[in-house]
């Protein structure tokens, strides 16, 4: 009897669900969703999750199609395609948005967040949402932050255990002044390049090293062309899921709601998946032959001191209040 009641309840729930899907105003839509990493990466898995979730919510009407490996362009190229309406969605680093909204550079200042919990609270809270709000005027709708992760250094020259070891190392950084200033002040020779050119630049030794979260070092196979990994966790790097405002403005309220709900679900999935993957990535990289250096807290403290010019410059160029506000929000979470 209980079984029959349960089956009935499920049937009714399903009927209700499909009735609400049918009643809702969804048009058949193809969403080109571009991203920089491989399909088999935390980024790729989360794009797939989003696509599946959105299809479920809309009875298959809204179809997101993932384009991996920057096949639609680098982060900045995709941002411009979204603004122009030539592409619907993307996910990429907040760091590459600074040409459009300078304030996003505040996340790139080193050693701000101590852990993921602090980052989640600030990004999902009023501070993170305020920055997202600034994209609207520029033709972009920011939906949610995903985790790229704490960034670590790799290179081919020698182990980096202290600041002096970075001297003269040609290090690829993202196209973002905070990163350029930071690594130059560490003594490296910072070379800004789009991510889509990075593997080749490492392979041909155009640069000696790069910095990215361990998940990306794994999924982009940087272990094939890099020998030394230093666990520095110098910056917590967010990804941001973006929509073309031009396209968004033409959607029905139901369509917008479905996308927002799928984005929120994908955020929760992505953070959990990334954190699980990160716990295994260092061992994987060791197995692949990378030599891992744990950088001491004392050395990280010296790096933090050295990075002061990057803070000062960001502050003097109009970012002083923003830094204070962000530090205030982090302090609130620490209490």
Secondary structure E strands in the chain: 29-35, 62-67, 89-93, 140-150, 152-155, 170-173, 189-192, 209-212, 228-231, 236-244, 291-294
C-beta nearest to ligand TK8: residue: 36
Least distance in angstroms from the C-beta of 50 to ligand TK8: 16
DSSP string, 177-196: HHHHHHHHHTT-EEEE--GG
- C-alpha to C-alpha distance for 70 and 34, rounded to whole angstroms: 7
Half-sphere exposure of 281 (CA within 13 A, CB side): 26
Residue 264 CB: number of other CB atoms within 10 A?
A: 15
Kind of pairing between the strands at 170-173 and 189-192: parallel
Least distance in angstroms from the C-beta of 232 to ligand TK8: 14
Least distance in angstroms from the C-beta of 72 to ligand TK8: 11
Question: According to CB under 6 A, which one of 34, 36, 142, 177 is a site residue for ligand TK8?
Answer: 36
DSSP state, residue 189: E
Cβ atoms of 93 and 237 closer than 8 Å: yes
**Residue with smaller CB distance to ligand TK8, 62 or 198:** 198
Binding track, positions 54-93, relative to ligand TK8; x by CB under 6 A: ---------------------x----------------xx
Radius of gyration of the chain (CA): 21
Least distance in angstroms from the C-beta of 75 to ligand TK8: 5
**Interface with ligand TK8, residue 238, by CB under 6 A:** no
Question: According to CB under 6 A, which one of 42, 148, 155, 244 is a site residue for ligand TK8?
Answer: 148
Cβ atoms of 106 and 265 closer than 8 Å: no
**Residue with smaller CB distance to ligand TK8, 37 or 112:** 37
DSSP three-state, residue 167: coil
Question: According to CB under 6 A, which one of 87, 212, 219, 244 is a site residue for ligand TK8?
Answer: 212
Least distance in angstroms from the C-beta of 48 to ligand TK8: 16
DSSP state, residue 91: E
Count of residues touching ligand TK8 (by CB under 6 A): 11
**Residue with smaller CB distance to ligand TK8, 93 or 226:** 93
- The CA-to-CA distance between both ends of the chain, in Å, stands at 53
Touching ligand TK8, residues 172-201 (CB under 6 A): 174, 195
| CA-based torsion, 137, 139, 142, 143: positive or negative | positive
Question: According to CB under 6 A, which one of 37, 97, 163, 242 is a site residue for ligand TK8?
Answer: 37
**Residue with smaller CB distance to ligand TK8, 237 or 244:** 237
**Residue with smaller CB distance to ligand TK8, 212 or 226:** 212
Residue 219 CB: number of other CB atoms within 10 A?
A: 21
Binding site residues, ligand TK8, CB under 6 A: 36-37, 75, 92-93, 148, 174, 195, 212, 216, 237
């Amino acid at each position: 009897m209980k079984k029959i009641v349960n089956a009935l309840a499920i049937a009714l729930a399903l009927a209700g669900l499909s009735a609400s899907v049918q009643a809702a105003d969804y048009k058949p839509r193809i969403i080109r969703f571009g991203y920089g990493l491989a399909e088999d990466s935390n980024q790729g898995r989360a794009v797939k999750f989003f696509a599946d979730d959105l299809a479920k919510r809309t009875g298959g009407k809204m179809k997101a199609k993932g384009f991996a490996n920057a096949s639609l362009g680098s982060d900045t190229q995709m941002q411009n395609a979204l603004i122009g309406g030539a592409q619907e969605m993307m996910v990429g680093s907040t760091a590459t948005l600074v040409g459009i909204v300078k304030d996003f550079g505040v996340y790139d200042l080193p050693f701000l967040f101590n852990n993921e919990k602090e980052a989640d609270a600030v990004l999902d809270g009023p501070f993170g949402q305020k920055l997202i709000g600034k994209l609207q005027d520029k033709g972009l709708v920011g939906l949610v932050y995903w985790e790229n992760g704490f960034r670590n250094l790799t290179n081919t020259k020698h182990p980096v255990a202290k600041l002096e070891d970075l001297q003269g190392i040609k290090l690829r950084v993202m196209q973002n002044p905070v990163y350029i200033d930071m690594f130059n002040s560490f003594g490296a020779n910072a070379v800004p390049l789009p991510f889509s050119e990075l593997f080749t630049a490492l392979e041909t030794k155009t640069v000696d090293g790069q910095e990215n979260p361990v998940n990306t070092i794994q999924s982009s196979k940087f272990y094939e062309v890099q020998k030394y990994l230093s666990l520095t966790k110098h910056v917590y790097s967010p990804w941001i899921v973006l929509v073309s405002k031009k396209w968004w403005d033409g959607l029905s309220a139901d369509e917008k709601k479905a996308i927002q709900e799928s984005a929120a679900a994908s955020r929760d999935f992505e953070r959990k998946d990334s954190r699980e993957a990160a716990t295994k990535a260092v061992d994987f990289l060791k197995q692949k032959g990378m030599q891992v250096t744990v950088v001491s807290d004392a050395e990280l403290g010296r790096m933090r001191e050295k990075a002061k010019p990057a803070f000062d410059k960001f502050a003097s160029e109009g970012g002083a209040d923003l830094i204070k506000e962000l530090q205030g929000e982090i302090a609130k979470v620490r209490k």
